[in-house]
Amino acid sequence: MVKIGVLGLQGAVREHVQAIEACGEEAIIIKSKDQLDEIDGLILPGGESTTMRRLIDQYDFMDKLKHLGELEKPMFGTCAGLILLAKKINGYDETHLGLMDVVVERNSFGRQKESFEADLAILGVADHFNAVFIRAPHILEVGENVEILAKHNGRIVAARDRHILGCSFHPELTDDHSLTQYFINMVKEKINK
């Protein structure tokens, strides 16, 4: 059984915990930076990226999260989590963690009231995945080592940069746990290397 942490500062934490447990693995809600030493992989949930960044700074998580990236510990960012992981945010000078070699556009699918669901084909995951988009970002550009996993209307909405997975939507808000399982498999691959 692997231990998957869910950064528990803000956002859809409980839903990610339920998805991890539905895949038969142990979920740990990360409330202090010392807990990051106990996990095999980390999910950065959807929520509000600016609020999450403020809390990351307030609780002194930044250096430890960047160190996880240096250790190549698998990380999965969903929606706001993707924004936190991105190397560049379009229209902003400052990034957050800067661990994933992508450029993202914030709120690129509209405001809260423009939220929608879409059927996606996700490479290596599912031919039909019901993706929930809520004030979602999308990926504008990817680095040369980044694998594009899914697009919606020509926009990149899921990608993998070696040990880092990111998506624009909220896989934890559906009963389909195949993308969470894909991340768990990434974690197991890393452990077994």
- Residue-wise DSSP of 55-105: HHHHTT-HHHHHHHHHTT--EEEETHHHHHHEEEETT-S--SS--EEEEEE
Please tell me the least confidently modeled range out of 105-109, 114-118, 124-128, 184-188: 105-109
Q: Which two tokens stand for residue 15?
A: 């839903």
pLDDT at 86: 97
Q: Please tell me the pTM assigned to this model.
A: 0.95
pLDDT score, position 111? 67
Domain boundaries, position 74? 3-191
114: pLDDT strictly greater than 80: no
User: How many whole angstroms separate alpha carbon 192 and alpha carbon 181?
Assistant: 16
Tell me the pLDDT band of 11, cut-offs 50, 70 and 90.
confident
> How deeply is 112 buried, as exposed, middle or buried, from its count of CB atoms within 10 A (0-12, 13-18, 19+)?
exposed
**Is 172 among the catalytic positions?**
yes
DSSP summary character for residue 10: S
pLDDT at residue 49, as a whole number:
87
Average pLDDT over residues 54-60: 94
Question: Domain of 7: which CATH number?
Answer: 3.40.50.880
Active-site residue flag, 170: yes
**115: pLDDT strictly greater than 90:** no
Average pLDDT over residues 24-53: 95
- 96: annotated active-site residue: no
- 54, two tokens: 């403020």
Average pLDDT over residues 110-116: 74
For 58-104, write each residue's pLDDT tens digit.
999 999 999 999 999 999 999 999 999 999 999 998 899 999 999 99
Query: Has residue 108 got a pLDDT over 80?
Result: no
pLDDT at site 110: 67
Quick one: pLDDT at residue 65? 97
pLDDT digits (tens, 9 = 90+) for 128-172: 999 999 988 999 999 999 999 999 999 999 999 999 999 999 999
Q: Which of 79, 96, 138, 152 is catalytic?
A: 79
* Single-letter code of the amino acid located at 42: L
| The pLDDT value given to residue 53 | 92
Percentage above 90 pLDDT, the chain: 86
Q: Which of 152, 163, 170, 177 is catalytic?
A: 170
The distance of Cα 74 from the centroid of its chain, to the nearest Å, equals 10
Q: In the chain, how many domains are there?
A: 1
Q: How much of the chain exceeds pLDDT 70, in percent?
A: 97
